[in-house]
Amino acid sequence: MNIKTIVMVTSFALATVSGLAEAEDTDITVRVMSKDAKFVGTSMGGVQVILRDKETDEVLAQGITAGGTGNTAKIMHEKGGRRAAMADESAASFNTTLDLDRPRMIEAEVYGPLAQLQAAHGASATQWVIPGGHLSVGDGWVIELPGLVVNILEPAAAQKVSASKGDSLSVSANVMMMCGCPITQGGLWDAEQFEVGMTITMNGENISEEVMSYAGKSSLFSGEIPISGSGVYDVIVHAYDPKNGNTGIDKTTIVIE
């Protein structure tokens, strides 16, 4: 090894040891995809994204996904192949540029949708990122968010209702994918594939399990609660997709006088 080579190697080693290695801007795009559906963006309040160094727990960047749900034809296909792109400019994302001077194991933590906190879930993933190794290419860093959005519409929470034993009370709920995509009869997300129902308890004891049915309007399901007497009824509405296990719930209380 000649003297010129020795000097070059020594200089590089000293720069690395002293932390003087030149940093590079590294673009990262995080997208959050509703399980079996589309991207979660502005229409659902977005999803909180936090990027951390997995080894040091340092927060490198954070923000909220913004944009649309993406191109349905690009996303919801059955024969696209493993290299089929899903995202385009309409797909919601969180974008940031990190100033990296070394490879880092980065953890992306997501939580949302922020406009439907009763349905919000968290998810995380880790990935090595090298200086200049952009994760903004292709679909970016896609993290799947499980769950279904369930919103009990009526009766209102803690509503007092006059009813007698043997009567029934109507309950309606809105059920959507986490991206806000609608569930309809015969649609892309077919109402017939979902199991929607209620668990009713009174004074801490289960008193009834009831099925809810599609009510003829987009994402709307309804059912009846049998009244067994006066008291506070706790109602849990659940939605479940037996094809993939996707599940969501909402809760309310009703006072029967």
pLDDT tens per residue, range 47-92: 999 999 999 999 999 999 999 999 999 999 877 666 688 999 999 9
* Arithmetic mean of pLDDT over the chain: 90
Domain locations in the chain as residue ranges: 22-145, 148-256
Q: Report the pLDDT value the prediction gives residue 93, as an integer from 0 to 100.
A: 98
* pLDDT attached to residue 257: 87
Topology match between the domains 22-145 and 148-256: yes
What pLDDT does residue 63 have? 98
The torsion of the CA quartet 80, 35, 155, 232, rounded to 10 degrees, works out to: 150
pLDDT band at 37 (very low <50, low <70, confident <90, very high): very high
Contact 40, 47 (CB under 8 A): yes
Tokens for 224, please give them. Answer: 């009846």
Residues 73-110 as b/e (b if ≥16 CB within 10 A, e otherwise) read ebbbeeeeeeeeebbeeebbbbbbebebeeebebbbbb
Q: Provide the pLDDT confidence category of residue 19 given band limits of 50, 70 and 90.
A: very low
- The pTM is what? 0.86
Q: Can you tell me the mean pLDDT for 117-121?
A: 96
Specify the pLDDT at position 156: 86
Q: Answer positive or negative: Cα dihedral of 199, 148, 221, 172.
A: positive
pLDDT of residue 59: 98
Superfamily of the domain at 148-256: Immunoglobulins (2.60.40.10)
CATH 2.40.128 is right for the domain spanning 22-145:
no
